[in-house]
Structure 1
Amino acid sequence: MTSTELTPADYPLSINRPELLHTPTGKALADITMDAVVSGEVTNEDLRVTPDTLVLQGRIAESVGRRQLGENCRRAAEMTAIPDDEVLAMYNALRPRASSAAQLEEIASRLENTFSAPTCAGLVREAAEVYAARNLLAEED
């Protein structure tokens, strides 16, 4: 990923900074054409967002003072490495009264240690604190 300064003028990246974008398989944005799709050169994997693209989008959001959107983009970047079934299980576990403090800490630890997702882990820990303060945790087993 580039360390180039990004500004609102770079948005949308696909038009103003396409050289910064690539597919998960390394194709340039210009390589994604209808002919390439029809011929099979472009696969479903090429149409997924990359963590780098999400981080770049977050940097642009932060450049205009949208800190929370920037944080959301960083979490989304981390989540690209987490299997869909894990994401769904974590989503369900984060419902109020669905998980105990220990269960939420287990999820946060798994996010950090298995998926290298410290920003997501921090969000789960923050949710656990808020749920504890508002009596929204599940009973310990």
Structure 2
Amino acid sequence: MSRAFSGKPADDLTIDALVRDELAPDDVRIHPDTLEAQAVVAERHGNPQLAANFRRAAELARFPESEILALYEALRPRRSTMDELDALADDLAARDAPRCAALVREAAAAYAARGLLR
């Protein structure tokens, strides 16, 4: 069953509930389990790349928005050094986000090869 990050069932997330001011910010955040369920569907339909994206999103769904925005900024070309990206990858791995850590390491290697590091 799909549910919000707060644990509230998706069926309870209605416009009427919003109008009645019954929804909190965590009620409109997606739950990591929902993203994993979407990854399974993507795999069943022959789309492993989409499944991998959903699984990375599931890892990040537990992080506060400010950290997601900082990660996005760090991954923009010429915004980070190799050492900064390595530290970011280490932090993600330590916080149970190994797929995201691997993506940061892959991006760092690509940026190094293309001269896109700071």
Pairwise TM-score range, normalised by the shorter structure? 0.7 to 0.9
Once the 2 structures are TM-superposed, how far is the Cα of residue 71 of structure 1 from its aligned partner? 0.8
**Structure 1 letter corresponding to 2:114:** R
CA distance in 2, matches of 1:44, 1:36: 13
1:5-24 to structure 2, matched below 5 A, reads 20-24=1-5
**Structure 2 letter corresponding to 1:119:** R
1:123 aligns with 2:103: yes
1:86 aligns with 2:86: no
Shift in CA distance, 42/83, structure 1 to aligned 2, threshold 3 Å: closer
Shift in CA distance, 47/101, structure 1 to aligned 2, threshold 3 Å: same
1:1-141 to structure 2, matched below 5 A, reads 20-113=1-94, 115-138=95-118
Gaps of 5+ in 1: 1-19
The alignment's TM-score, normalised by the length of structure 2, stands at 0.86
CA distance in 2, matches of 1:85, 1:31: 27
Query: What's the secondary structure of 2:71's corresponding residue?
Result: helix
Q: Which structure has the larger Rg over C-alpha atoms?
A: 1
**Structure 1 letter corresponding to 2:104:** V
Q: Percent identity?
A: 47
More displaced, 100-109 or 89-98?
89-98
CA distance in 2, matches of 1:40, 1:50: 21
The alignment's TM-score, normalised by the length of structure 1, stands at 0.74
- Alpha-carbon RMSD: 1.7
Gaps of 5+ in 2: none
**Structure 2 letter corresponding to 1:129:** A
More displaced, 53-62 or 35-44?
35-44
